[in-house]
Chain A
Amino acid sequence: MNISSHARRSTVTRNAIGVGLATGVYGISFGALAVTSGFSFAQTQVLSLGLFSGASQFAVVGIMGAGGGAIAAIATSSLLGVRNGLYALSIANVLKLKGFKKVIASQLTIDESTAMSIANNDDEEMSRWAFWATGISVFVFWNIATAIGAFGASFVADPKSLGLDAAVGAAFLALLWPRLINKQIRVLGILAGLLAIGLTPFVQPGIPVLASVLIAIAMGLKNASDK
């Protein structure tokens, strides 16, 4: 390894730790909200270790905390997780993994590790390094932060008096915000919101969120046929 690639590797590592710390902070809110939504400390931690995908984890906790059933929670979480499968697909040819490493890499395939890997895709070795460094860093900080948040919240007797029920919507909005990149997407978001409001009085909690996928399917098919 020459000097410049060594320097670049330390920059990538530093960035990976930065990304891990930043997303770790979400983990505190996740841990706190999960416990105040009625999930045990163990359940909360297993979600961060096993499910390990912020939006899906907030969805499981939000839906069941609001009285939705396990099926609706699992289905919502899984639909939100489909993108991670596509990430894995898009970086598989860079990672070039075999055996057990493939299992570990799969678990670490999330928004952040994929983005950092793609950001360095001019150099295959650096792209791999960015994936592993970011994936491990986010996994470690996310899980530590979850434990801190869950432990802290376990002392809260009445979550509503602390406004923690109001924080769940804010958390979803903060996850959505950076994705609202153009007018079509903002319109799509508003349509999905209106559909969910319209359905809420008539169906079980959790179903309005699942139904919103129909809008994504309609718009997605239209976009694909326009191209």
Chain B
Amino acid sequence: MEARWIAVIASSVIAFILKFSGNIVPARHLEQPKIKSITALVPIVMLSALVVVQTFAAGQELVIDARLVALLFAVILLLIRAPFIVVVFGAAALAAILRYFELIN
């Protein structure tokens, strides 16, 4: 089976198991302070790492290109409280313009 299908199906199944087990496991097993305090931080570190990797990585190389300018523009849009879709497509539009005029790759 194609790797993408494996990822799609396996991640869906695991996501469901995680949610369902929360519904059937007695609370005392997971409500330890250590586990709670780690799981609260996991989305922060992973999303931060994903932002950086999606901006600078090209395979295993680090590059500076239109994605960085687009990300800085996204920061400005977030600071002025633009909605999610404006942030996402605003960043895309700026990168597209920069590349169209060949200002940066």
Contact = CB atoms under 8 A, between A and B. Distances in A.
Contacts of B103: none
B14 A77 contact: yes
A110 to B, nearest CB: 9
A53 B45 contact: no
A203 B43 CA distance: 21
Contact of B7 (A58, A60, A173, A196): A60
A94 to B, nearest CB: 12
Interface string B54-98: 111101111000110011011100100001110111111111111
A223 B37 contact: yes
B9 A50 contact: yes
Contacts of A43: 4-5, 8
A128 to B, nearest CB: 14
B22 A85 contact: yes
Contacts of A205: 53, 57, 59-60
A172 B57 contact: no
Chain B binding surface, main DSSP class: helix
Contact of B55 (A83, A169, A174): A169
Interface string B12-43: 11111011111111010011011011111111
A71 to B, nearest CB: 8
Pick from A53, A83, A89, A203 the residue with the most CB of B within 10 Å.
A89
Interface of A: 22, 25-26, 28-29, 33, 38-40, 43, 46-47, 50-53, 55-56, 58-60, 62-64, 66-67, 69-70, 73-74, 76-90, 92-93, 95, 97, 102-103, 105-107, 109, 160-177, 179-180, 185, 188-197, 200-205, 208-209, 211-213, 215-217, 219-221, 223-224, 227
Given A163-B95, A212-B45, 11 more contacts: A40-B4, A78-B11, A85-B18, A93-B27, A102-B23, A107-B19, A168-B54, A192-B45, A196-B52, A200-B57, A212-B49
9 contacts: A29-B88, A58-B50, A84-B19, A169-B51, A189-B45, A196-B53, A213-B42, A220-B40, A224-B38
The 7 closest A-B pairs by CB, nearest first: A88-B22, A163-B95, A50-B12, A220-B38, A170-B91, A166-B95, A166-B70
